[in-house]
């Protein structure tokens, strides 16, 4: 069992992503880490069944990262052993014309998981205080006001039984270059490469500033942020999985009692 507290952003902390590591092993050897992930994966499957059986809580996992930061692979590797019937993954791209006619949280809220289910956001409401800010798609007064709305939204979800866990998958500029080059070098990865991503790569420092402020202002007791060193993928998976399992274990769920006497049921 590993301690994920070093990656947790305590409410009120000062955050500067440039000072946080992008590569770590937590003192584990790779094989040890992979074995731990395997054990945690089994436990996560058990906890998912309890979550679904009780329907007291929902779990929302939010992933944010720079391009090539590993949002897709983290989702695939951490949650691959779960029953897919109880998992919903939503990837948020640029808002559609219809979505722009609503408040910025409208398209987000409708995908929040219902009790008993696990929801995974690949990008999220934080695009509206990060990408919108860096790309200058809205004036500062607009995106600055959204921090309060995001905190209120997440507080609402938590008060209605949704566990909110947010992970920033932290990579370096050099690592991103390596991963983007891989997409160019491999024919089976060309579909993942978007030349437009290079525009955002040229804004690395503004993105780090925007993410730092967003994490600092929106890591709360009811919806904490974790900054995960993501360049060793096995360690990234271990941190995310351990955090999720710890939180679900803390709920101390057990199976609901039946409203019938199983001993009196006879199956013809």
pLDDT on residue 195: 85
The answer to the question of residue 55 being in a domain is yes
The answer to the question of residue 29 being in a domain is yes
How is residue 58 written in tokens? Answer: 């929902």
pLDDT on residue 197: 79
The answer to the question of residue 267 being in a domain is no
Give 95's pLDDT tier (boundaries 50, 70, 90).
very high
What are the tens digits of pLDDT across the range 101-110? 999 999 999 9
Total domain count for the chain? 1
Mean of pLDDT over the chain: 96
- Here the CATH number for the domain that contains residue 121 is 3.40.50.300
The answer to the question of residue 264 being in a domain is no
What are the tens digits of pLDDT across the range 192-241? 888 877 888 999 999 999 999 999 999 999 999 999 999 999 999 999 99
The whole domain housing 113 covers 10-254
How is residue 196 written in tokens? Answer: 């437009």
Classify the phi-psi angles of 244: left when phi > 0, otherwise alpha if psi is within -120 to 50, otherwise beta.
alpha
How is residue 80 written in tokens? Answer: 């691959």
From the list 79, 97, 173, 166, the residue with the least C-alpha distance to 126 is 166
Query: What contacts 145, CB < 8 A, 6 or more positions away?
Result: none
The answer to the question of residue 185 being in a domain is yes
Query: What contacts 122, CB < 8 A, 6 or more positions away?
Result: 63, 71, 72, 75, 89, 90, 91, 92
Question: What is the number of residues in the chain?
Answer: 268
Average pLDDT over residues 237-256: 97
Residues paired with 63 in a beta bridge: 122, 167
The answer to the question of residue 98 being in a domain is yes
The answer to the question of residue 77 being in a domain is yes
pLDDT on residue 193: 87
Average pLDDT over residues 182-190: 91
- Measured over the CA atoms of residue 256, residue 249, residue 38 and residue 242, the dihedral's sign is positive
The C-alpha atoms of residue 46 and residue 50 are separated, in whole angstroms, by: 7
What are the tens digits of pLDDT across the range 74-93? 999 999 999 999 999 999 99
**190 with 183: CB under 8 angstroms?**
yes
SS (H, E, C) the chain: CCCCHHHEECCCCCCCHHHCCCCCCCCCCHHHHHHHHHHHHHHHHHHHHHHHHHCCCEEEEEEEECCCCCHHHHHHHHHCCCCHHHEEEEECCCCCHHHHCCCCCHHHHCCCCCCCCEEEEECCHHHHCCHHHHCCCCCHHHHHHHHHHHHHHHHHHHHCCEEEEEEEEECCHHHHHHHHHHHHHCHHHHHHCCCCHHHHHCCHHHHHHHHHHHHHHHCCCCCCEEEEECCCHHHHHHHHHHHHHHHHHHCCCCCCCCCCCHHHCCCC
Average pLDDT over residues 120-130: 98
Task: Give per-residue burial for 193-204: e unless 16+ CB within 10 Å, then b.
Answer: beeeeeebbeee
What are the tens digits of pLDDT across the range 7-44? 999 999 999 999 999 999 999 999 999 999 999 999 99
The answer to the question of residue 168 being in a domain is yes
Q: Is 171 exposed, middle or buried (0-12, 13-18, 19+ CB in 10 A)?
A: buried
How is residue 159 written in tokens? Answer: 């008060």
């Amino acid at each position: 069992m590993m301690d994920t507290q070093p990656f947790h952003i305590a409410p009120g902390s000062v955050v500067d992503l440039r000072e946080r590591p992008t590569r770590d092993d937590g003192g584990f050897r790779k094989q040890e880490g992979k074995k731990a992930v395997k054990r945690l994966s089994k436990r996560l499957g058990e906890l998912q069944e309890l979550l679904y059986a009780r329907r007291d809580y929902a779990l929302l996992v939010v992933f944010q990262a720079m391009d090539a930061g590993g949002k897709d692979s983290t989702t695939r590797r951490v949650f691959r052993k779960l029953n897919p019937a109880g998992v919903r993954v939503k990837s948020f791209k640029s808002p559609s014309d219809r979505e722009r006619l609503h408040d910025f949280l409208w398209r987000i809220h409708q995908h929040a998981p219902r009790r008993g289910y696990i929801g995974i956001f690949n990008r999220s409401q934080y695009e509206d205080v990060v990408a919108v800010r860096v790309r200058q798609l809205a004036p500062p007064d607009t995106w600055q006001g959204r921090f309060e709305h995001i905190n209120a939204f997440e507080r609402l979800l938590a008060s209605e039984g949704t566990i909110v866990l947010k992970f920033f998958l932290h990579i370096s500029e050099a690592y991103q270059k390596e991963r983007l080059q891989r997409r160019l070098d491999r024919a089976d990865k060309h579909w993942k490469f978007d030349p437009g991503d290079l525009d955002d790569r040229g804004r690395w420092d503004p993105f780090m500033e925007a993410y730092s402020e967003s994490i600092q202002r929106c890591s709360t007791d009811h919806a904490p942020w974790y900054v995960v060193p993501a360049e060793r993928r096995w360690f990234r998976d271990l941190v995310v999985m351990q955090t999720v399992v710890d939180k679900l274990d803390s709920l101390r769920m057990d199976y609901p009692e039946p409203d019938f006497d199983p001993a009196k049921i006879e199956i013809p």
